[in-house]
Amino acid sequence: MLERDAMPRGSTSMSQGFIPAAGTRFQEEKGVRDSAELMAEDIQRKNGYQADPDIVRALSEASAGVVEWLADAHGVPFDLVEGFLYPGHRRTRMHATPRRTGEELMGSLLNAVESAGIDLLTEARVVDLHVDDGGRVLGVTLERPDGSRESIGCDALILACNGYGGNPELVERHLPALKDALYYGHEATRVTLCCGARAWGRASRTWGPARGTAHWRCRTRP
């Protein structure tokens, strides 16, 4: 795992740490009947049916398994968030740790990483991806705070740097209403999308510029 910052916190640590999932045992225990199909429909209705339906369906279908896997295999203390419906959702499907904070969720995930013996390299900003002629990722180049660089090979790569708010060109192309919004997010989005969007096609539009783009409805640069 490669982390840009000295501590892996990100925007999740500043959130309530809610994770939506449909059809979990935590819902069943509270008498909530839900399904991946209903979750996918809620997501699409909320975004005006602009998201890629295949990606929305895949995420919805995998959601329950991921939450239960994190709880059972890695000890993340999830339970169902009750008392309100998250905007746009017709079922109670937000899951969170007991204190309902992203900081607690990140702490649980970092404990799981350590317990699993996974190497976590901090202050390692990814600046380039290496791909073959077929678009398969072979490795990355990272940069350290002192400016030194090194390359690491891989058999597979998971991009966990959120949307493309760090890439003004893609924001203007896909969501022109946000092109002048203030952005406070991860620089890696610029690198990963520039290298990967051409290979992954329409999926790049679905990722969106979320999280790093703040107060875009009312604040723009002068």
> What is residue 208's predicted lDDT score, i.e. its pLDDT?
54
Q: How many CB atoms sit inside 10 A of residue 218's CB?
A: 6
- pLDDT of 37 strictly over 70: yes
| Helical pair 53-74 and 102-115, crossing angle rounded to 10 deg | 70
> What is residue 176's predicted lDDT score, i.e. its pLDDT?
86
Burial of 166 (0-12, 13-18, 19+ CB in 10 A): buried
Of 5-9, 96-100, 105-109, 181-185, minimum mean pLDDT range: 181-185
Q: How many CB atoms sit inside 10 A of residue 95's CB?
A: 26
pTM over 0.75: yes
- The CA distance from 103 to 99, in Å, is 9
Region 11-23: mean pLDDT is: 94
Could you read off the pLDDT of 71-96 as tens digits, one per residue?
999 999 999 999 989 999 999 999 99
Where along the chain do its domains lie? Answer: 18-96, 125-207
Q: What angle do CA 7, 196, 139 make, to 5 degrees?
A: 60
Cα 29 to the center of its chain, rounded Å: 27
- The CA distance from 63 to 41, in Å, is 14
- pLDDT of 127 strictly over 60: yes
| Helical pair 36-46 and 53-74, crossing angle rounded to 10 deg | 130
Tokens 């997501």, residue located: 43
Using DSSP, state whether 81 is helix, strand or coil: coil
> What is residue 218's predicted lDDT score, i.e. its pLDDT?
33
Any bridge partners for residue 2, and if so which?
Answer: 121
Sort strands 149-153 and 137-143 into parallel, antiparallel or unpaired. Answer: antiparallel
CB 165 within 8 A of CB 180: no
> What is residue 145's predicted lDDT score, i.e. its pLDDT?
96
- pLDDT of 214 strictly over 60: no
> What is residue 9's predicted lDDT score, i.e. its pLDDT?
85
> What is residue 24's predicted lDDT score, i.e. its pLDDT?
99
Residues in contact with 58: Cβ distance below 8 Å, sequence separation at least 6, in sequence order: none
Q: Phi-psi category of 131—alpha, beta or left, where left has phi over 0 and alpha has psi -120 to 50?
A: beta
- pLDDT of 207 strictly over 50: no
Closest CA to 41 of 56, 52, 31: 56
